[in-house]
Protein backbone atom coordinates (compact mmCIF):
# COMPACT_ATOMS: atom_id res chain seq x y z
CA UNK A 1 0.00 0.00 0.00
CA UNK A 2 1.35 3.44 -0.88
CA UNK A 3 0.94 6.68 1.04
CA UNK A 4 -1.65 7.78 -1.50
CA UNK A 5 -3.63 4.61 -0.80
CA UNK A 6 -3.79 5.35 2.93
CA UNK A 7 -4.14 9.14 2.71
CA UNK A 8 -6.26 9.38 -0.41
CA UNK A 9 -5.44 11.68 -3.30
CA UNK A 10 -3.50 14.87 -2.62
CA UNK A 11 -5.75 17.91 -2.18
CA UNK A 12 -6.12 20.29 -5.11
CA UNK A 13 -7.64 23.25 -3.26
CA UNK A 14 -6.30 25.51 -0.53
CA UNK A 15 -7.16 24.45 3.02
CA UNK A 16 -9.99 26.30 4.75
CA UNK A 17 -8.47 28.49 7.46
CA UNK A 18 -10.01 30.64 10.18
CA UNK A 19 -8.03 33.61 8.85
CA UNK A 20 -8.52 33.84 5.07
CA UNK A 21 -5.57 36.24 4.74
CA UNK A 22 -3.17 33.66 6.16
CA UNK A 23 -2.83 31.74 2.88
CA UNK A 24 -1.93 34.93 1.00
CA UNK A 25 0.64 35.80 3.66
CA UNK A 26 2.15 32.31 3.40
CA UNK A 27 2.20 32.51 -0.40
CA UNK A 28 3.93 35.89 -0.22
CA UNK A 29 6.70 34.37 1.93
CA UNK A 30 7.06 31.40 -0.44
CA UNK A 31 7.40 33.79 -3.40
CA UNK A 32 9.88 36.11 -1.66
CA UNK A 33 12.02 33.60 0.25
CA UNK A 34 11.80 30.74 -2.24
CA UNK A 35 12.31 33.03 -5.25
CA UNK A 36 9.27 31.47 -6.93
CA UNK A 37 7.12 33.21 -9.54
CA UNK A 38 3.69 33.99 -8.07
CA UNK A 39 1.83 32.49 -11.04
CA UNK A 40 3.42 29.08 -10.34
CA UNK A 41 1.92 28.95 -6.84
CA UNK A 42 -1.08 26.62 -6.80
CA UNK A 43 -2.50 24.16 -4.25
CA UNK A 44 -1.36 21.18 -6.30
CA UNK A 45 2.18 22.54 -6.94
CA UNK A 46 4.96 20.54 -5.31
CA UNK A 47 8.30 21.72 -3.99
CA UNK A 48 9.87 19.93 -6.94
CA UNK A 49 7.65 21.58 -9.58
CA UNK A 50 8.47 24.94 -8.00
CA UNK A 51 12.18 24.13 -8.17
CA UNK A 52 12.65 24.51 -4.41
CA UNK A 53 15.75 22.83 -3.02
CA UNK A 54 16.40 22.12 0.66
CA UNK A 55 18.01 25.52 1.31
CA UNK A 56 15.07 27.40 -0.21
CA UNK A 57 12.64 25.36 1.89
CA UNK A 58 14.62 26.28 5.02
CA UNK A 59 14.53 29.95 3.96
CA UNK A 60 10.75 29.74 3.43
CA UNK A 61 10.24 28.17 6.86
CA UNK A 62 12.44 30.83 8.49
CA UNK A 63 10.48 33.52 6.64
CA UNK A 64 7.20 32.05 7.87
CA UNK A 65 8.51 31.93 11.44
CA UNK A 66 9.39 35.61 11.17
CA UNK A 67 6.13 36.59 9.44
CA UNK A 68 3.96 34.85 12.03
CA UNK A 69 6.29 35.23 15.05
CA UNK A 70 6.25 31.49 15.68
CA UNK A 71 8.42 28.38 15.59
CA UNK A 72 7.79 25.71 12.94
CA UNK A 73 9.55 22.47 13.87
CA UNK A 74 10.67 20.07 11.17
CA UNK A 75 8.41 17.04 11.34
CA UNK A 76 7.61 13.97 9.31
CA UNK A 77 4.26 15.55 8.41
CA UNK A 78 6.08 18.56 7.00
CA UNK A 79 8.54 16.50 4.99
CA UNK A 80 5.80 14.17 3.73
CA UNK A 81 3.50 16.93 2.42
CA UNK A 82 2.72 16.06 -1.19
CA UNK A 83 1.89 19.57 -2.41
CA UNK A 84 1.50 23.18 -1.24
CA UNK A 85 -2.02 22.59 0.04
CA UNK A 86 -0.81 19.85 2.41
CA UNK A 87 2.30 21.84 3.30
CA UNK A 88 0.22 24.87 4.29
CA UNK A 89 -2.15 22.67 6.31
CA UNK A 90 0.80 21.17 8.22
CA UNK A 91 2.40 24.60 8.79
CA UNK A 92 -0.84 26.12 10.09
CA UNK A 93 -1.50 23.12 12.35
CA UNK A 94 2.06 23.41 13.68
CA UNK A 95 1.61 27.12 14.43
CA UNK A 96 -1.73 26.54 16.15
CA UNK A 97 -0.34 23.76 18.36
CA UNK A 98 2.68 25.79 19.48
CA UNK A 99 2.48 26.58 23.20
CA UNK A 100 2.11 30.23 24.00
CA UNK A 101 5.31 32.06 24.89
CA UNK A 102 5.66 32.65 28.61
CA UNK A 103 4.71 36.11 29.74
CA UNK A 104 6.29 37.97 32.58
CA UNK A 105 4.05 39.22 35.29
CA UNK A 106 3.45 38.93 38.89
The model's pLDDT over 45-79, given as tens digits with 9 standing for 90+, comes to 999 999 999 899 999 999 999 999 999 988 888 88
Is residue 25 one of the residues assigned to a domain?
Answer: yes
CA 9 to CA 77: how far, in whole Å? 16
Q: What is the pLDDT of residues 11-45, one digit of tens each?
A: 999 999 888 899 999 999 999 999 999 999 999 99
Q: What is the CATH number of the domain that holds 24?
A: 1.10.1200.10
Query: In terms of residue numbers, what domain contains 90?
Result: 17-97
Q: What's the confidence (pLDDT) of residue 7?
A: 82
> Does the residue 102 lie in any domain?
no
- Cα 77 from Cα 70, distance rounded (Å): 18
Identify whether 28 is part of a domain: yes
Residue 58 covered by a domain: yes
Q: Are 45 and 83 in contact (CB under 8 A)?
A: yes
Other CB atoms within 10 Å distance of the CB of residue 79: 11
At residue 1 the predicted structure's pLDDT band, cuts being 50, 70 and 90, is very low
Element (H, E) at 77: helix 76-79
To the nearest 10°, report the CA torsion of 32, 36, 41, 44: -120
Q: How many domains does the chain have?
A: 1
Say if 31 falls within a structural domain.
yes
Amino acid sequence: MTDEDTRGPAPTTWPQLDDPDMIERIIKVIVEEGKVERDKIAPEATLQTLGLESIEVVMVLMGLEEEFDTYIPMSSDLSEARNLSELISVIVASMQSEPAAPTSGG
